[in-house]
Each structure stands twice: as structure tokens, then as C-alpha cells.
Structure 1
Amino acid sequence: MQKEYKTITEISGPLVFAEVDEPVGYDEIVEIETPDGQTRRGQVLETTSEHVAIQVFEGTGGIDRESSVRFLGETMKMKLTEDLLGRVLDGSGQPIDGGPEIEPDKREDIVGAAINPYSREYPAEFIQTGVSAIDGMNTLVRGQKLPIFSSSGQPHNDLALQIARQATVPEEEKEGGESEFAVIFGAMGITAEEANEFMDDFERTGALERSVVFMNLADDPATERTLTPRLALTTAEYLAFEKGYHVLTILTDMTNYCEALREIGAAREEVPGRRGYPGYMYTDLAQLYERAGRIKGVDGSITQIPILTMPSDDITHPIPDLTGYITEGQIIIDPDLNSQGIQPPINVLPSLSRLMDDGIGEGLTRADHADVSDQLYAAYAEGEDLRDLVNIVGREALSERDNKYLDFADRFEAEFVQQGFTTDRDIEETLEIGWDLLSMLPKEELNRVDEDLIEEHYREETEEQVTAD
């Protein structure tokens, strides 16, 4: 039964406070009707037997003490259907693409249900993004949550679009080829220009046909940003666990989401935690990130790539810090590589995929993936260290071996990491480039690669190459 009150006592930022004469359910949906007849939606954020705090999604402008508050007796739900693929929705789940209204097959609570740990299937299947620095060095695995850490002004959106466009499950990894691949793209607090770029790319490349896009713009209410990732993940759960899709969920920008949490916390006059963010931000982020995964006996999966811009490029800031605790690694966007024109500017040394070893073993045709990755990493790390030494003593003071590693580091960035935002490399091509680079080094330096693999893949330098050098 719906209950209606005209007892608003206070309006603070995105919050409305009202008196009630009986308890109201937490997270219950509210409709607020202003004196001029406009209706705003909100959600109960805090409730007692005497008053409630309501978070208003569309902003509190025009709401006053004469407005009526109506409690609908249900929580926020997402309209779900397979026909959502190819649709563009706003941050509150309403269509903005000029298409028809959503005719749902079912409606589900956006909070979602936690996956029972006993029912979880361990992530162990490779997802090919077409990006060598990820596929070769920090492999993404089905059911994993692997964030991208960037900073303001870096091309993380271009990388997100490239992954959304190119990501696929290789044929040999499909269990009988029964599962389709889908992308859920949730954008929070982006500018209209960025939104236009996203949509132009989705439509131009045809990626929209297998995608569901949620758009919360910078001038939309900040409180709506707390809904967007939950709506996106509820849609992902439906497609993955009920329709059998392998779903890649890209959420950008989680920093804007956390800023919305801080704004709401300030309006509620909560005691702030680190840098003014709510003390419960870790729990809140975990509720989102832990919705990735696989379920035993279910064909589909949810893989997450949250993207966040680190304030002041500080990886110890609470947002990347807490994200790193919850997720299984990180991909680091490097401003120095970006300034050199490397695309995508991924720094593979601080980047990490904790589930990589599980995703590149059984099921892939290339047995050398792990060995090549380890050797590339070690050689590039040594080349990076030698670059610092060159700044002190000069290149002439280094040995022939050291100069080979310096050349290796330069070519690694120019040929392996650098590929542009439109090039799609399969894992075979990525590893072939890796072997080309490793063949720059003497065989005795390849101490992380099996001898049989060296004999099979090592490229001996020809006289023509020596002359050219």
C-alpha cells in the first residue's frame, strides 16, 4: 500500500528529510510531487520510525515543504530483456536513443544478490582484448575484475572503447561455442563531448549491436551516479546467468562515482573518512566489484573493467587504493609513455593481472605464453633500470650486453606496446612480436624460457640483418 505525506522538514543538497508516522523500508522508491505538478524520483537512504532521509535522483530544485512524498513500497528495479542489446539508456535506466520503451521479460532489484562463494567457478578462461600489453603481459580472464588506473587527461577512454570493440572469447576457449559475447558500458559523470565520442565509435564500428550503454553525464544529478553501475551490473547478471552470455562490463569513471558518495555523505553530515570520503566506501565498492564472476553449472560470466582517474596521479589515493585491495590486479596508464606518442600508453611493469597464470594455461594453443611473458617482463625491467644508469654515466660506458637491453626496451615500447587504438592483434600475433623482440638477446640470456621453445621460436640473426644494423 502506498503511503503519502506532506511532512518535508529539510532539504540539504541532494537529500530531502521528511517525518513519518511508521517505519519505511530502506532503499524504498519514493515519488516527490512539487507544487507545480512535477514528479521527482528518489530512494530512502536512512529510515527510523519518525523520519526518513531521501536521496533524490533528479535533483532537489523546485522541491519545498509543500511538496508531497509518496512511498511506493518497493525498491529500485531494472527492466530486463535480451532486447536491451543495442540500446542506449541514461544513468537511471531510461531509453535515450529514440527507440521504443523497454518491454521487460522481468524486473530485478538493482542491488543484486551476492554469489555464494561455494557456487563460484574459479576464473580460468582467457578473454582476448586485441591489446598486446594486456593479452601478452597482463591477461584478462573470464570472471575477473581488472581495473584500469589512469590520470586526468590520459586516453583511458580510447583504451576502454578499443577493448569494448575488440574483446572476444577465442574459439578454442568456448565450451562448445554456445555462449555469445556482450558488452555493458556504464559511463558516470562524463562530459557531453565524451558521450558523443563514445556513441560515434560504438555506432561506426558496429559494437553497439552487442552492447548495452548507460550514460550519466556531468550535468546530470550526482546521486544518479550511484544508480548507474548497479543498473549496468543487474543487466550484466541477467544476460550472463540467465541468457548465457559472456559479459564484459566496463565502468568509467569510478572516481566520479566515489565523488558522488562523498557529496551524499557530506549532505548527511556523516563523519568523514580518508580525504573526506565515507568510511563505508570500501564496502560500497566491494558490493559493485564482487558482482563479477562465474557460477558453477552456468555458461555465462561477468568480467569487469572499472576505470578510474587517480587524483593527482596518486596511486595511494583512497579510490585506487581500495580498488586495488578488492580487485585482481590493475592496468596502469603512463603519462610519460603517452607523451612519447605510445598508444595505448600501458606501463606493463607496475601493471598486474593476478589471475593471468590461470587464464593462459590449459585451453590455449600456445604453450609459450607464460614463458614469453616472464622473459619480456624481465628484459624490459632490466632495460628500464639501465636507462637510469645511462643518464649518469652515458651509453658509451655500458657493455655490449647492456646496450642490447637498452635497445630491447626501446623496441618493446615501439613495437609491442605501441599498436594504436584501432589495431586488433590476436594472441598469436602478440606472441610472435614477443619472440621477434626476444631474439634480439643472446640465447643464454633467455633463462626464463624452456629450451625446447627457444629452439622452436628463436630467430637467428642473418647476415643481412647484421649488415643492416
Structure 2
Amino acid sequence: MKLYREGYRNIAGIAGPLLFVRGVKKGGYGELVTVENGKRTRKGQILQIEGDLCVIQLFDGAMGLSTGDTTVWMDRDVVKVPVGMNLIGKILNGRGLDERGEEILFCEDRIPVSGLPINPARRRSPRSFIQTGISTIDVMNTLVKGQKLPIFAGSGLPANEVTTQIVRQAKVRESSQFLVVFAAMGITKRESQYFIESFKRTGAIEKGVFFLNLASDSAAERLLTPRMALTVAEYFAFQKGYDVLVVMTDMLHYCNALREISAAREEVPGRRGYPGYMYSDLADLYERAGSIDGSDGSITQIPIITMPDDDMTHPVIDLSGYITEGQIVLGRDLHDKGIFPPIDVLPSLSRLMNKGIGKDQTVDYHRAMADQLYSAYAKARELVKLRLIVGDDGLTEIEHRYIAFGRSFEENFIDQRGGDRNLEDSLEEAWRALRALPDQELFKLPQNLVSRRER
């Protein structure tokens, strides 16, 4: 019990979720404070210090505060998240509190959310196949343990449904200790209920830790949520030896909160009003993925990012693409055809795919199969456009067979109706789609496999 509290009442101003205080002595970046105004108590943290002026970011907003009757008490501590095996199966809010808004009392430790930087010399190269149960990812854009692979989705596309499917189905085939850490930022109450009901109905709740930040919560809390989730992931990965998959949705809401607080600080805006340091802020989050020497665990990230107006040049999409190792893109045309999950494989890419496939991990012809599917589907898409110009009579027999392949590829390989497929079933569907093409067109596959394929 503290017998002495250090407080300040020299409030210089209030702007949005920010409180400006003068005269704070020995304040530290990220330090927690308690703000009281006689009516209620709220928490915040020091965001910036310039001379004797201290900028405090309030987790619950500044509504109801005034400069005359507000006291800022220094906690002399930083934001920490409770960790322990009892977190598995729990649903927390964006500040690490339980569903009733209370702290987790029984925990093994409390760790600062800033995390510990990984020594680059101890980083291991990402490796080992993670099965998502989605054919277009497992066969053509393979997710590798320790990778960061975002999903780009336009507004109105079923990103939430794809997210829940990945959380439900993901597994590392050679690992018995696998865990999902799910962080939702800026979601509506309806979306929150959808996620909770889906995870409970499918049993995914039993193999994960879930953080839910609502749109009605403060922007400051939105910036805290992914850091809470990643700190928990680091605990399970590097202290308990788990392979952890971190799914974060929606990073656009996170960046919008970053822009809101930047505007309140009256900083010079960058592209589309986002702060110039957004790149380094995102890199600070994304680079917490990986695996290290001396630990059996790993952290793999799948950030979900909405593309405003389907614009892949949007700053959040653009910068995320620079930092991460590929992207999975949801296609609006496929969604309009009723295909689920509507993953457009042509603009999608997994730069580390080759590290997680091959004879020792999947099958020896995995890379060749992916290349063959890419080549054939790209040609089929071009021929569909050509048919609109020249008509069916203007196409050769082999071109018609390519179009038939493209139709079968979309309806049977891409479209899974929400079902879970293991890698063997996904490869079988790929072979089934390739039956539409003659042997001489399968030039990227080993000829001994082509000659033995079923008709």
C-alpha cells in the first residue's frame, strides 16, 4: 500500500483523448497515470514529454474533464498485461480486462506491453508449414511458421468469415502445442457477438486467447490492443514453447486511431492525413513475429486490413505490403459469383512459401503444382476476356479447355463452402481441376506425375 501519491493539477489543456499537464517531474514515456475529477477515475499513459509539458493519452477519453477540477496522479508504472496458462479460452477487452471489466487476478506474471526486441543474431529464418485448411493458401500461398502474411479485403467482402475460418482451422501438423491469439480492433457490437458465437460454437475458444476492442472504445485503447495480444503471444511462444498464430483485425481501424491521436497532437500530417511515423509504428508491431534460437516456439502473424475503395495504393495497405512477406487478396469478382473464400490468387503472394514446402514438409512437387496452377489460371482469365471480343467461334479447342479449367478451378478448388481441407485433399482438388487440360499443357509439373494422373 502506497503512503504517498504524487499528483499535479496544472492542466494546460484538453484535446480529444489527450490531456496536457505542466510541471510533471521525472515523468517517463509510457508511464501510467490516474486522472480524477471528483466524479470518476480514469487511466492514461504519458505519450510525450517536452520540457515541463507532459502529454497524457487517456484510455477512456476526456469526456467530462475540465482544467479546473482535474488531478493527475503518477502511478510510476507502465502498462502491463497478465499472462499465464489460465488465459487460454478467455475473452478480454482491448486493455486486458475480463468480460466484466475487471483485472485478471490469478496470473503467473504481468509483462510490459512494449515487449522485448529480438536480437537479430538470434532470429531463425521462418520455416515449417502451417495448414490453414484453405486450399488457395495451403497450396499456392503457403503460410510458414514465423511469417507475417496479411489479408487485404475490400469493404463488404467477407473478411470476418475468412478470419474465423482461419482461427478455427489453423494448425501446425508436427506441433502439439499450437495456440491462436486473436485481436479485434474497432469492431462493432454485432461483429463482436459474431466472433464470440463463432468461436464458442466451433470450439476455437478452447485453443486461443481473444482480445476485443469495440468501435465505441477510445482510440488510445485501440492502439493498446495489438500490443497486449503480441505480448501474450511472446509469453506463450518464448516462455512456454507454443507455436502461436496472431490474427489481428482490422489494422485499418488501428491506423485510423493513430491518425486521430496525431491530429489531436497537431502534428504535421503525411499521406491522407496519416502521421509520418506510421511506417515505423506498423513495423514495431509486425516485426514482433518470428522465432529465435533456444526456443521451440514461434509467432506467426496474419493481419487483416480493409482496402478503402479496393485501393491497394492506400497508405496502410502500401506500408503493410513493404513490411510483411506477401499478401492474400480477397477478390470482389469471386465474391459476386458466390465463391467462398473469395481469394484471388493472381495478386496474392507468399514470399517465404518455399521455406515451408517440399519433400520433407509437404510433397516434393508442391512448388511445381503452385506454378502450374498460377500459369493455367492466368491464361484462363485472359481467354475469358478475349472470348468477349472474338466470341466462342474465335477460340481454338485448347483455349476452350483452358476456360473450362478456369471455371472448374474457381468452383471446386477456390470455393470450399466454408469447409476444412487438409493438404492432401487440396492437392487432389488441384489435380481434378487440371484434368480439363491435355498433358502437353502441364509443362511445369514432373512428367512422371502427369503421365500417371487419373483421368
TM-score range, shorter chain: over 0.9
Matched residues in 2 for 1:310 and 1:412: separation?
A: 26
CA contact (8 A) 1:168 1:181 kept: yes
Which has the larger displacement, 94-103 or 316-325? 94-103
Query: What's the CA shift for 1:49?
Result: 3.3
Matched residues in 1 for 2:35 and 2:344: separation?
A: 49
For 2:46, the equivalent position in structure 1 comes to: 44
CA contact (8 A) 2:439 2:451 kept: no
1:57 to 48, 56, 59: 59
> Is the partner of 2:95 in helix, strand or coil?
coil
Unmatched tracts of structure 2, length 5 or more: none
Counterpart of 1:91 in structure 2: which amino acid?
A: G
Matched, 1:438 2:440: no
Counterpart of 2:129 in structure 1: which amino acid?
A: F
**Where has structure 1 moved over 3 Å in runs of 4 or more?**
97-102
For 2:112, the equivalent position in structure 1 comes to: 109
CA contact (8 A) 2:128 2:356 kept: yes
Query: What's the CA shift for 1:362?
Result: 4.6
Query: What's the CA shift for 1:114?
Result: 1.6
> Is the partner of 2:416 in helix, strand or coil?
coil
Query: What's the CA shift for 1:3?
Result: 2.4
For 1:300, the equivalent position in structure 2 comes to: 297
C-alpha RMSD over aligned residues:
1.4
For 1:467, the equivalent position in structure 2 comes to: none
2:454 to 449, 455, 459: 459
Matched residues in 1 for 2:411 and 2:167: separation?
A: 24
CA contact (8 A) 1:29 1:74 kept: yes
For 2:347, the equivalent position in structure 1 comes to: 350
> Is the partner of 1:71 in helix, strand or coil?
strand
Matched residues in 1 for 2:38 and 2:394: separation?
A: 80
CA contact (8 A) 1:361 1:367 kept: yes
Matched residues in 2 for 1:22 and 1:246: separation?
A: 43
Matched residues in 1 for 2:256 and 2:101: separation?
A: 30
The total of aligned residue pairs comes to 451
Q: Deviations over 1:126-180 (max 9, x none)?
A: 000000011011000110000000011110110000000000011xxx2xx5x41
> What's the TM-score once normalised by structure 1's chain length?
0.94
CA contact (8 A) 1:24 1:49 kept: no
Q: Deviations over 1:83-118 (max 9, x none)?
A: 100000001110016998341211111011121111
1:82 to 80, 85, 89: 85
1:122 to 122, 125, 138: 125
CA contact (8 A) 1:28 1:44 kept: yes
CA contact (8 A) 1:127 1:168 kept: yes
Matched residues in 2 for 1:154 and 1:80: separation?
A: 34
Counterpart of 2:130 in structure 1: which amino acid?
A: I
Distance 1:16 1:98, change over 3 A: closer
> Is the partner of 2:172 in helix, strand or coil?
coil
> What's the TM-score once normalised by structure 2's chain length?
0.97
Matched residues in 2 for 1:298 and 1:315: separation?
A: 36
CA contact (8 A) 1:24 1:48 kept: no
1:259 to 248, 256, 259: 256
Matched residues in 2 for 1:40 and 1:455: separation?
A: 70
Query: What's the CA shift for 1:453?
Result: 2.2
Q: Deviations over 1:399-451 (max 9, x none)?
A: 00111111111110000000022x10000000011111122211111111112
CA contact (8 A) 2:141 2:353 kept: yes
For 1:465, the equivalent position in structure 2 comes to: none
Unmatched tracts of structure 1, length 5 or more: 461-469
> Is the partner of 1:227 in helix, strand or coil?
helix
Q: Deviations over 1:209-258 (max 9, x none)?
A: 11111010111112210000000000000011101111110000000000
Query: What's the CA shift for 1:23?
Result: 3.2
Matched residues in 2 for 1:360 and 1:403: separation?
A: 32
CA contact (8 A) 2:82 2:104 kept: no
Paired-residue identity, %:
51
Question: What does residue range 220-231 of structure 1 map to in structure 2 within 5 Å?
Answer: 220-231=217-228
Distance 1:21 1:160, change over 3 A: closer
CA contact (8 A) 2:223 2:257 kept: yes
